[in-house]
Amino acid sequence: MQQTVEDLLSRVHGRNVILGGCGRTDAGVHATQFYAYLRTEEPLPDNYLFFVNKQLPRDIALRDVHSVPDNAQARFDATERTYDYLLHGSPDAWLDRGSGQFDLTNFAPARVAQVLPLLLTHEDYRALCKAPDRHNTTLVHFRQATLFRNGAGDRYRFRFVANRFLRGMIRLLVHHLFQVGTGRLSEEDFTRVLQTQTRSEHFRLAPPEGLYLTGVRYPYLDREARLPPIGEVKWIPIP
């Protein structure tokens, strides 16, 4: 995606454009809110969004342009990030493109709800990082970890809000939580993974298509997280 946008903006601005993005996501992961910074010498024309979007591929859209301080940095200035993970049970040609399919036969969401509060008190997530040695620190501070269901109970959504996330962390976490929900991983074993920072035998990533970066907050830009259209249904939090 980054190369596609950079190539187009380079043509639009008549110079080599290298964007500074707010982060990187795994292949197949989506974003409804993703920020990148671009320095320009002249004010952007009023039709800039329309002009750029007409030339972008259909799966990429430039939604807004904001003026920020001269020293703004999209990645390191972020104070909080929000990820949502959508999952469903039965095969569905529409949902399968933007939601992870799981076998919900023995899934008990109440089990998951019981362990989610652990994330708000735990700090070191080395055991749930795909490549921990690539990070200077594996400390993460969660502000929210919630599981929702739709009215029919055949679709679920996780929301995770924290100051930062590690490589592959959300997909690893969702897989572990689903194992808890199906009884394949006990609450005690999940707690032990967090406390001992030791990877379990269930070390596996959830499908990428269900994961969305839905929000990024900055000291100078504070916007609510935005769900994708496929996730805009009535969600009921599971206590």
Active site positions, annotated: 26
Q: Find, among 43, 194, 78, 42, the residue nearest to 128 by Cα.
A: 194
Phi/psi of residue 30, each to 5°? Answer: -105, 170
Tokens 């609450």 -> residue: 187
* Own/partner long-range contacts of 45-52 (Cβ < 8 Å, ≥24 apart): 51/12, 52/8, 52/9, 52/12
Within 10 A of 91 (CB to CB), how many other CB atoms are there?
Answer: 8
Are the C-beta atoms of 150 and 234 separated by less than 8 Å? yes
How many other C-beta atoms are found inside a 10 Å radius of the C-beta of residue 226?
Answer: 17
Cβ burial, residue 230 (10 Å; 0-12/13-18/19+)? middle
Reading the block at residue 156, the tokens are: 């679920």
* Axis crossing angle, helix 187-196 with helix 169-182, rounded to the nearest 10: 150
Contacting residues for 71 by C-beta, under 8 A, at least 6 apart: none
